[in-house]
């Protein structure tokens, strides 16, 4: 018995709590597959705002098992008529800017207003288990206990820029489950922001004062995508620096062309730790949504996003189908060895592998 306990302890050494929780959840989900719930029952549970059914459906969506994907597509199709009724907000910023603290306080403010809030937190993945490693439910403990909030950490895996592969579909399920506001937190490492920007209605960029970003921000595309910049941790000794940063970012924003929505991006100060500036940020977002819907820009943007995701889904499917073909797998390994031995170039190898598609 003692040996079994020692073995169990060794297996969890070096593994974060969120990985253990994530792995246990997946194991428990797989153990329940013998009691498969039919799509109709699963959809009914989601529409009845049953979080357990929602979590099961999201797990199916994130699965790479072809059977699970077919099952998930059926659920998605049934939920689609009940979606598209929420406000989708993307929140990004470099690690350490206080995204999780901000989202928790912001989420609590929204639930206090009577809104149901879903947080889709895209975590970096463990290179060993592929599970989430930041543990957003443990970092947003107060919000996680709110009955009107739902937090779903999703491992970013190997998808572009750390964006969870199925976040777009997860949004649909959360909307069908009756959530009024969807908050999507990115890893904050670059390309993930581009993908998140293509699935939200409002894009909020969190910044820190005195981090050296004020002038460099002028050159960064992330500023151009932002609908608003919130300088977080604007309290105590950093308040004056935050005020100066606000001036610099306002100057930077004036260098960009007018947004097609007619909205002028704003810069504001906030302190998630002291719960300051949070009300103003929600009022600003509400103002933007009112403007966007009043000019029909809101619907046009969503239509454009759907078109984008249609193309991305086709691209991903073609890529997956191509690399999963036996001949391509063999040829890829052969060409990699030839490149290593300086017998060919990466470009010539790519041309050869792509030419196989004509004979398949």
Dihedral angle computed from the Cα positions of residues 169, 172, 176 and 181, in that order, rounded to the nearest 10 degrees: 130
Lowest-confidence pick of 171-180, 187-196, 237-246, 291-300 = 187-196
266 SS3 class: strand
Give the per-residue pLDDT at 166.
82
Give the per-residue pLDDT at 8.
45
Write down the residue that tokens 């009107």 correspond to.
Answer: 148
Give the per-residue pLDDT at 345.
96
Buried b (16+ CB within 10 A) or exposed e, 290-323: eebeeeebbeebeeebeeebeeeeeeeeeeeeee
pLDDT digits (tens, 9 = 90+) for 78-94: 999 999 999 999 998 88
pLDDT digits (tens, 9 = 90+) for 22-57: 444 444 444 444 456 788 999 999 999 999 999 999
Give the per-residue pLDDT at 213.
53
Distances (CA, A) of 323 to 64, 333, 345: 15, 11, 19
Give the per-residue pLDDT at 33.
44
Q: Kindly list the structural domains of the chain, giving each domain's residue range(s) and its CATH number in brackets, ordered by start.
A: 16-80 (no CATH), 82-295 (3.40.50.300), 308-358 (no CATH)
pLDDT digits (tens, 9 = 90+) for 239-248: 999 999 999 8
The packing angle between helices 278-294 and 297-323, to 10°, is 90
- Give the confidence band of 359 by pLDDT, cuts at 50, 70, 90: low
Q: Is the model's pLDDT at 160 over the cut of 70?
A: no
- Give the confidence band of 6 by pLDDT, cuts at 50, 70, 90: very low
Give the per-residue pLDDT at 311.
87
What sign does the dihedral 206-303-263-277 (CA atoms) show? Answer: negative
Give the per-residue pLDDT at 21.
41
Q: Is the model's pLDDT at 18 over the cut of 50?
A: no
DSSP string covering 199-265, please? T-SEEEEEEETTSS-TTGGGG-HHHHH-SEEEEE--SGGGHHHHHHHHHHHHHHHTTSPPPTT----
pLDDT digits (tens, 9 = 90+) for 96-143: 889 999 999 999 999 999 999 999 987 655 444 444 444 555 678 899
Q: How large is the average pLDDT for residues 202-208? A: 93
Give the per-residue pLDDT at 110.
98
């Amino acid at each position: 018995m003692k040996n079994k306990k020692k073995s169990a302890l060794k297996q969890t050494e070096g593994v974060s709590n969120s990985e253990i929780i994530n792995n246990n959840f997946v194991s428990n989900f797989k153990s329940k597959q013998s009691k498969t719930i039919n799509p109709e029952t699963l959809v009914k549970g989601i529409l009845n705002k049953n979080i357990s059914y929602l979590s099961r459906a999201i797990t199916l969506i994130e699965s790479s098992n072809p059977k699970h994907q077919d099952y998930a597509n059926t659920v998605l199709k049934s939920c689609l008529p009940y979606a598209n009724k929420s406000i989708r907000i993307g929140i990004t910023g470099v690690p350490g800017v206080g995204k999780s603290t901000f989202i928790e306080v912001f989420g609590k403010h929204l639930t206090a207003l009577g809104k149901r809030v879903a947080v889709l937190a895209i975590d970096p993945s463990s290179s060993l288990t592929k599970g989430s490693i930041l543990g957003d439910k443990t970092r947003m403990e107060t919000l996680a206990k709110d009955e009107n909030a739902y937090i779903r950490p999703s491992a970013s895996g190997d998808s572009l820029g750390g964006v969870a592969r199925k976040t777009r579909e997860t949004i649909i399920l959360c909307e069908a489950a009756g959530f009024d506001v969807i908050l999507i937190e990115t890893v904050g490492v670059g390309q993930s922001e581009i993908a998140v920007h293509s699935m939200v209605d409002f894009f909020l960029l969190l910044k820190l004062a005195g981090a050296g970003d004020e002038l460099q921000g002028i050159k960064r595309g992330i500023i151009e995508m932002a609908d608003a910049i919130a300088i977080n941790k604007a309290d105590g000794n950093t308040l004056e620096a935050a005020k100066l940063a606000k001036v610099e970012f306002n100057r930077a924003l004036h260098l960009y062309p007018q947004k097609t929505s007619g909205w002028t991006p704003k810069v504001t100060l906030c302190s998630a730790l002291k719960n300051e500036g949070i009300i103003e940020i929600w009022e600003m977002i509400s103002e933007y949504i009112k403007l966007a819907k009043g000019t029909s820009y809101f619907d046009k943007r969503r239509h454009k996003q759907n078109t984008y995701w249609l193309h991305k889904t086709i691209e991903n499917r073609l890529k997956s189908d191509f690399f999963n073909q036996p001949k391509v797998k063999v040829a890829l390994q052969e060409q990699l060895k030839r490149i290593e031995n300086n017998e060919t170039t990466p470009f010539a190898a790519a041309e050869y592998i792509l030419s196989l598609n004509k004979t398949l």
